[in-house]
């Protein structure tokens, strides 16, 4: 079940099916440990600004900002079945993107 929301979602610490991880660009794969650490400890996923989709979320890491889609096992948010990273950029503290 894909995670959908137009509001931030608090995700509990999660078990992640690592074989279900995909990346938009192979360069992003090097930064997956930071994202997985966040997801395994629990994190807030915020809707991606400017994107006209309730299924793309921003997760802030210590050094990177990840734009992701998440699929959960049978609606259980503590078990991530699939994860797709659509973007991964260096984190710029204090930068806020406009929402429309």
Say whether pTM exceeds 0.85: yes
40 occurs within a structural domain: yes
62 occurs within a structural domain: yes
pLDDT in tens, 22-49: 999 999 999 999 999 999 999 999 999 8
98 occurs within a structural domain: no
68 occurs within a structural domain: yes
Q: In the chain, how many domains are there? A: 1
4 occurs within a structural domain: no
57 occurs within a structural domain: yes
Q: Which domain holds residue 50?
A: 9-90
Count CA atoms closer than 13 A to 26's CA, side-chain side.
0
Which pLDDT score, from 0 to 100, does residue 100 have? 45
2 occurs within a structural domain: no
Helices (H) and strands (E) in the chain, counts: 1, 7
pLDDT above 70 for 98: no
97 occurs within a structural domain: no
Two tokens, residue 47: 């809707």
Count CA atoms closer than 13 A to 57's CA, side-chain side.
25
């Amino acid at each position: 079940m894909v995670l959908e929301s137009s509001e931030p979602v608090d995700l509990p610490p999660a078990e992640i099916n690592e074989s279900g991880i995909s990346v938009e660009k192979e360069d992003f794969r090097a930064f997956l440990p930071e994202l997985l650490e966040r997801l395994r400890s629990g994190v807030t996923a915020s809707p991606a600004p400017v994107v006209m989709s309730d299924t793309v979320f921003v997760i802030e890491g210590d050094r990177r900002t990840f734009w992701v889609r998440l699929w959960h096992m049978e609606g259980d948010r503590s078990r991530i079945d699939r994860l797709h990273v659509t973007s991964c950029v260096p984190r710029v503290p204090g930068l806020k993107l406009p929402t429309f």
